[in-house]
Amino acid sequence: MPVQDVNATRRLADAVTLPCGQLLPNRLVKSAMSEALGGRDHGPSEQLERLYRRWGAGGYGLVVTGNVMIDRRQLGEPGNVVIEDDRHLDGLRRWAGAYRGSPLWMQLNHPGRQANPLAGRSRPVAPSAIASGIPGMARPRALAESEILAIVDRFGTAAAVAEAAGFDGVQIHGAHGYLVTQFLSPRSNQRTDDWGGDPERRRRFVLEVLRAIRRRVSPGFAVGIKLNSADFQRGGFTEEESREVVRALVAEGIDLIEISGGSYEKPVMMGTVRESTAAREAYFLDYARTVMDLAGDVPIAVTGGFRTRQTMTAAVAARDCDLVGLGRPTVVNPDAAVELLDRGRERLEAPPIQFGARSIMRRFGELSALDGALNLNWHTDQMHRMGRGLEPDPARGWRRAALVMVARNGFGALRPRRGQ
Ligand SMILES: Cc1cc2nc3c(=O)[nH]c(=O)nc-3n(C[C@H](O)[C@H](O)[C@H](O)COP(=O)(O)O)c2cc1C
């Protein structure tokens, strides 16, 4: 059963207490979005401080940062912040200190085979030497067991540094085709040692990561995860297996599970793929409903597609989920939670960003993936505006976003290639 009073109607504005004792003052979560605002040597920048100062006024129950990498040789994209040790502790303290409001968590990630070829020179690593289907991605090298253990340890170190810097929690990135999901999925994990071969061994990695983090942080520090409901690919990670992962994480003492789904091969989480789940406003609600009872006292958040107060309120009241995660709407409306909870706003803006020159663009690749990349870049540009102290510009057109995308990444940007 969820933590709060079981019989009363639950409202978006109600607080939630996590198993670690942390209080989230309401049920709206600003979900992780990679800011690509890392500064020199992958430390945090002043722009990041400004951006989070802005979101601090937004009234969210919880704010999660964009993914922070744990190994500078393996990045999701140029401009990632990286934590390998405490060399950036002062900058991280300024970043955490700039944000005032509800708890602030840092999302931790290792990209595995989705390492961005534009961002790093090292060969990507993965559970098995199986390339992702994203064009332009290198074939990864299979990790040796000692390397797996070293990565697990890196998650623990990064979490300890995040706590020392003043963050209130960390979120393991266990979604969207990155290393944690690569271990979970039988498509990308074909190991036959203790880290693969059956569902139990495939989920060992994520459980070891959780244990490593717990060992290094204090009991009141929150540890959550963003987890895929499924990867929506034949022979891949299924909802049934995902439910088993939820059970195991709950038994290990996770504080919050945020549900998403898909990968950058199949970007269901962005709503750009035609899937039954993407057809309605909230993409992963049907799955979330099925894990609410399994999760016991651990709150379940769902992210992907929420745009109207009515849908959010109904999802929480009906116990389809405990919290609602918002990504892109918080970039267009940094005050989204205040707007929804206090100012009676009914609908958040979500400009339909896609290439206008569709017949020309079709030459460059599958349009849904290209639109997904443009959509990401358009939102990244808005975060960069806020990082400069400006307000977002919802009227910004797709052409400018496409130009900046090419300027930032070269024409390689027009090949579907990146993800968060
Ligand atoms: C620019 C951008 C960057 C993103 N970076 C991350 C990330 O670092 N970690 C993550 O878990 N999800 C990331 N996402 C996905 C969002 O958290 C969210 O799951 C997705 O946008 C769907 O939710 P929405 O419909 O509310 O936007 C990113 C999305 C965008 C648009």
Whether the per-residue pLDDT at 397 is higher than 90: the answer is no
Query: For helices 367-387 and 46-56, what crossing angle results, to 10°?
Result: 90
The answer to whether the beta carbons of residues 125 and 86 sit under 8 Å apart is: no
Chain segment 266-288, per-residue pLDDT in tens:
778 877 555 544 446 888 999 99
For the chain, domains (ranges, CATH) are: 16-350 (3.20.20.70)
The answer to whether the beta carbons of residues 2 and 40 sit under 8 Å apart is: no
The answer to whether the beta carbons of residues 271 and 249 sit under 8 Å apart is: no
Question: Ligand 1: does its nearest atom lie under 6 Å from the Cβ of 227?
Answer: no
Cα separation of 321 and 290, whole Å? Answer: 10
Question: Ligand 1: does its nearest atom lie under 6 Å from the Cβ of 229?
Answer: no
Query: In angstroms, what is the span from residue 284 Cα to ligand 1's centroid?
Result: 14
Query: In angstroms, what is the span from residue 328 Cα to ligand 1's centroid?
Result: 7
Question: Ligand 1: does its nearest atom lie under 6 Å from the Cβ of 80?
Answer: no
Greater model confidence, 279 or 343: 343
pLDDT category at 130 given cuts 50, 70, 90 is very high
Tell me, what's the pLDDT at 202?
Answer: 98
16-17 and 23-24 strand pairing: antiparallel
Displacement of CA 197 from its chain's centroid (Å):
27
The residue-averaged pLDDT of 326-347 equals 96
Question: Ligand 1: does its nearest atom lie under 6 Å from the Cβ of 171?
Answer: no
Cα separation of 180 and 385, whole Å? Answer: 31
Mean pLDDT of the chain: 90
What global pTM score does this model have?
0.93
Residue nearest to atom 4 of ligand 1 (CA): 33
**DSSP code per residue over 244-268:** HHHHHHHHHT-SEEEEE--BSSS-G
DSSP lists the bridge partners of residue 256 as 224
Whether the per-residue pLDDT at 9 is higher than 80: the answer is no
Question: Ligand 1: does its nearest atom lie under 6 Å from the Cβ of 67?
Answer: yes
Question: Ligand 1: does its nearest atom lie under 6 Å from the Cβ of 31?
Answer: yes
Tell me, what's the pLDDT at 281?
Answer: 81
Question: Ligand 1: does its nearest atom lie under 6 Å from the Cβ of 34?
Answer: yes
The SS3 call for residue 29 is strand
Tell me, what's the pLDDT at 268?
Answer: 80
Tell me, what's the pLDDT at 375?
Answer: 87
Tell me, what's the pLDDT at 45?
Answer: 98
